[in-house]
Chains A and B, each alone.
Chain A
């Protein structure tokens, strides 16, 4: 079963991340490398991506003629996806275990462990529908 593990943060969190000291940044990067390596070696890895800072984020809607109307002004409290992993594991317990590992990513002291949202990635039809 495939699960997506999503790490999110507020716009304010991203702003403070940009000001982290070098050793904290290095610890964070080293953790992510080690975690990805662990996923690959265990045979659970499907994909992982980190996303650009929300400064670049735009909300896009279609205008009356279908052309894009963009908006890039967001409150500090808005949550943004920071990155995600997709893993292929036996069941939800294993996905939760991996999410807990990802949650240990070194963050700022006031935030503590990062919350990771775990969702099942939908697949084809079930085995049977008799």
Chain B
């Protein structure tokens, strides 16, 4: 996303207009794959010309015209049968070229999101397609964000478009019955994009970090289009409140710093204030969902000036609610931590026992890591040491392995209580 040197205001303008122009082109031509390519080409042409000549008076109309011309070229190069159909679309399109401002534009962004995040697509496909068609990123930029070759990302995007075509996913609003579930699918994809960016550690290399910003930008757009949806607001608040801790999360060498040890003066207080205000005005509206509860939990953490000031009772109550809404074992794991902080480590360890039978998490490193932490709190040093090492052997994250091994090393080098001679 920072790969090319481009005028920043122009880049922002282009990325904002991309889904709107794509929506207009799609209304005329219906061929998603070709329309998306045409809009990318138009956007590329603009990125080349506008910085020299200055943006045109009506940038959206400019982009739409260029994209329409590309579509016309595409249709002409198709087979004779396809050409006849296309000319009809072209005719009706020509009549409306001058009229593009009249079309309601903002809703198109939401329709595109519904399309790109359709449950028929794999998460990887939906993420790539959303970033390109709605986020307006180039394939190369997306590939660099995910550290895969550009050709691989191009292939994923092309397969995703193929899936949309073969599943007959239309560019139109979902039915009233489907709407809630489809919006949840959109939020899930935005959440995955956010997490992908949030897992970065490489200090100076902010490319992946930009994915979090992009996810927040898109979620803001959805929130502005659906201000009454409490889960959209909840997700935006969750992102703001989580991302606010970014600078404090890793040390100078990229090492992980757990919440309790973070330098809270590094937290982004403005972003926290925005997130807290958003979740505070959303919760009383009723229809509380998992994103709102997670945002509320993040808000309680963010509002504690010191780790010791954390209101664990409130966090435990929120996890109680959340646990009733979802059977996600990660929620159960965090619930056990909160229970340990309120009722003691033994209570937390009891709750972990129940999770051992759950195959979704029984072999997961997080279970061992949490158990290690609670065993240490309970004073079982040998048990904690064993679990820290076991967790280190299972994690797929290098900074986390370093963290867990450091915890183990700290325990094994500390004098055994009562054995100091």
Contact = CB atoms under 8 A, between A and B. Distances in A.
A39 to B, nearest CB: 9
B199 A43 contact: no
Interface in B293-345: 301, 334, 337
A129 to B, nearest CB: 5
A126 B364 CA distance: 12
Contacts of A70: none
Given A90-B122, A130-B259, A46 B400 contact: no
Contacts of B301: 130
A1 B396 CA distance: 9
Given A40-B155, A122-B398, A123-B397, A129 B256 contact: yes
Contacts of B199: 123-127
Contacts of B200: 124-125
B198 A43 contact: no
A125 B366 CA distance: 13
A43 B396 contact: no
Interface string A23-57: 00000000000000000111111110000000000
A108 interface: no
B161 interface: no
Interface string B136-179: 00000000001111011101100100000000000000000000
Contacts of B159: 42-43
Interface size class of B (residues with CB under 8 A): 35 or more
A47 B149 CA distance: 8
Interface string A104-130: 000000000000000010111111111
B151 A40 contact: yes
A43 B397 contact: no
A88 interface: yes
A43 B242 CA distance: 31
A130 B83 CA distance: 58
Interface string B105-123: 0000000000000000011
Contacts, number: 77
Contacts of B259: 129-130
Max chain A C-beta neighbours (<10 A), residue from B146, B148, B202: B148
B396 A120 contact: yes
A124 B201 contact: yes
B250 interface: yes
Contacts of B258: 129-130
Contact of B201 (A46, A47, A125): A125
B198 A127 contact: yes
Contact of B202 (A1, A88, A124, A126): A124
Contacts of B151: 40, 45
Contacts of A44: 152
Contacts of B403: 129
B405 to A, nearest CB: 13
Contacts of B397: 122-126
Interface size class of A (residues with CB under 8 A): 20 to 34
A125 B400 contact: yes
B195 interface: yes
Contacts of A88: 146, 148, 152
B152 A46 contact: yes
Contacts of A122: 396-398, 401
Contacts of A40: 151-152, 155
Contacts of B337: 130
Contacts of A125: 199-201, 249-250, 256, 397, 399-400
B177 to A, nearest CB: 29
Interface in A1-20: 1-2
Nearest to A120: B396
A126 B399 CA distance: 8
A122 B405 CA distance: 15
B395 interface: yes
Contacts of A43: 124, 152-153, 155-156, 159
A46 B148 contact: yes
Contacts of A123: 199, 396-398
A130 B334 contact: yes
Contacts of B122: 90
Given A88-B146, A122-B401, A45 B152 contact: yes
A64 B396 CA distance: 36
Given A122-B401, A123-B398, A125-B250, 5 more contacts: A43-B153, A46-B152, A123-B396, A124-B201, A125-B199
28 contacts: A2-B147, A42-B159, A43-B124, A43-B152, A43-B153, A43-B155, A43-B156, A45-B148, A45-B149, A45-B151, A46-B148, A46-B149, A46-B152, A47-B149, A90-B123, A122-B396, A122-B398, A122-B401, A123-B396, A123-B398, A124-B397, A125-B249, A125-B256, A125-B400, A126-B199, A126-B395, A129-B403, A130-B334
